[in-house]
Amino acid sequence: MRLELRPWPGGNVDEEALRNQLIEEGFDPFRWQDPAGTTYQPHAHAHDESIWVVAGEITFQASGQSFRLGPGDRLMLPAGTLHTAHVGNSGAVYLIGQRPPQAAPRPKKT
C-alpha cells in the first residue's frame, strides 16, 4: 500500500457501501466522529489505514504533503506513516479501516 489520496468522483456518499468496500479490501472498518477543531498530534500506526470521509472535513499532513478530505474522499495511509490531522469547522464523520501491513484484499463473493 502507498500513501495516496483517492478523491470522490461525485454523487451521494453511501456509508454502508463504503464500509462494504473496505471489508472487501481486507480492512476491519469502524465509524469515528470528531467535533470541529479536533487536532491529532504526529503519530503512526503499526497497521495500514484507509480513512474514508462520510461527512465534514479533515486535513492530514503526511510525508511533507497536505491532504484535505471532504465527503467521499479517501486517504490510504501505509503502516508506519507519521501523520497529523485537523478536523474542519463542521466536524467530521469517517470510516477508519485497519488491516495488517500488505494484507491481500479478500476475494469477492460470487
Query: How confident is the model over 16-33, as pLDDT tens digits?
Result: 999 999 999 999 999 999
Q: Please provide the CATH number assigned to the domain covering 4-99.
A: 2.60.120.10
What's the rounded Cα separation, in Å, for the pair 67 and 2? 14
pTM score of the predicted model: 0.88
CA atoms within 13 A on the CB side of 83: 25
104: pLDDT strictly greater than 60: no
**Structure-block grid coordinates of residue 24:** 472487501
Domain segments of the chain: what residues? 4-99
- Residue in the structure block whose three cell numbers are 500500500: 1
| H or E segment to which residue 84 belongs | strand 83-99
CB 64 within 8 A of CB 108: no
